[in-house]
A = this chain, B = another copy of it.
Amino acid sequence: MTRLLYALSGADRTRQFSPHVWKTVMSLAHKGLAYETVPVGFTEIPAIEGGSTATVPLLRDGDRLVRDSFDIALYLDEAYPDRPSLFGGEGGRAMARFIENWSQSTLHMAVTRIAILDIHNLLEPADQAYFRRSREERLGASLEDIAAAGKAEVEGFAKKLQPLRNMLKVQPFIGGEGPLFPDYIVFGALQWLRTTAGTKVLEEGDPVAGWFARCLDLHGGVGHRVTAA
């Protein structure tokens, strides 16, 4: 096996929770490519593959090393053109960039605020210290204060997904009749919340909840590998 996916993990090495790693897990499953997962804690990342990355996912594919979930998806489509495409053409490759930035700017800070203490608590002690220091510095508040502010995010969360909810009136996936990489982008954000805080942010019967359930079931149910927190 020469295909390795370096994936962020907590003290429980099977508990994958990084939204970006989930995008790549789904991408590899979409392409039907086998690989071995290498779980790493935050503080282990700088030592991976001779210091070749500051973030995960990192994919080793034979002698290729590819960082960043979007770049990995582009690489997989280029390297394995005979397997199902992740973008459905050039227009899809470009438009997925908009959806990536929508997900990042609309959903990620809200999930961070909601789940920050849960993320902290599932890490190894050394990673907990790193996580607290780096996040408190980046966000300018204690994890506890951020989490307190996160309570207000829960109520407004479903509303942020209105563009997806409306789109689901015309098609079952962002990719159309079937999923493409932008589905995995948005799935990654919600899977991150599911596997860390486990907070219920969608009502039963919400079309977005239906779409998320469909994503969890994709590719042999790979999204179910980690239970809800």
| Nearest CB of B to A219, in Å | 18
A88 to B174, CA, bound (A): 16
B163 near A91 with CB under 8 A, answer: no
B94 near A88 with CB under 8 A, answer: yes
B88 near A92 with CB under 8 A, answer: yes
Q: Count how many chain A residues have C-beta atoms less than 8 Å from C-beta atoms of the other chain.
A: 34
| Nearest CB of B to A131, in Å | 24
Contact string, A152-183, partner B, CB cutoff 8 A, digits 1/0? 00000000001110110011011111001010
Which B residues touch A80, using CB under 8 A? none
Contact string, A86-101, partner B, CB cutoff 8 A, digits 1/0? 0111111111111111
Mostly helix, strand, loop or mixed at chain A's interface? helix
Q: Which among A20-28, A29-37, A102-110, A136-144 touches the partner chain?
A: A102-110
A93 near B176 with CB under 8 A, answer: yes
Q: Which of B87, B98, B100, B170 contacts A91 (CB 8 A)?
A: B87
| Nearest CB of B to A78, in Å | 15
Which B residues touch A195, using CB under 8 A? none
A85 at the interface (CB under 8 A from B): yes
Find the B residue at minimum CB distance from A176: B94
Give the number of copies in the complex.
2
A47 to B5, CA, bound (A): 61
Find the B residue at minimum CB distance from A70: B170
B101 near A171 with CB under 8 A, answer: no
B97 near A175 with CB under 8 A, answer: no
B176 near A98 with CB under 8 A, answer: no
Find the B residue at minimum CB distance from A92: B91
Which B residues touch A173, using CB under 8 A? 94
Q: Which of B93, B104, B175 contacts A94 (CB 8 A)?
A: B175
A91 near B85 with CB under 8 A, answer: yes
Q: Which of B85, B101, B105, B174 contacts A95 (CB 8 A)?
A: B174
Contact string, A65-92, partner B, CB cutoff 8 A, digits 1/0? 0000000000000000000010111111
Interface residues of A (CB under 8 A from B): 85, 87-102, 104-106, 162-164, 166-167, 170-171, 173-177, 180, 182
Sort A-B residue pairs by CB-CB distance and give the 7 closest, nearest first.
A89-B89, A88-B91, A91-B92, A94-B176, A102-B163, A95-B95, A101-B166
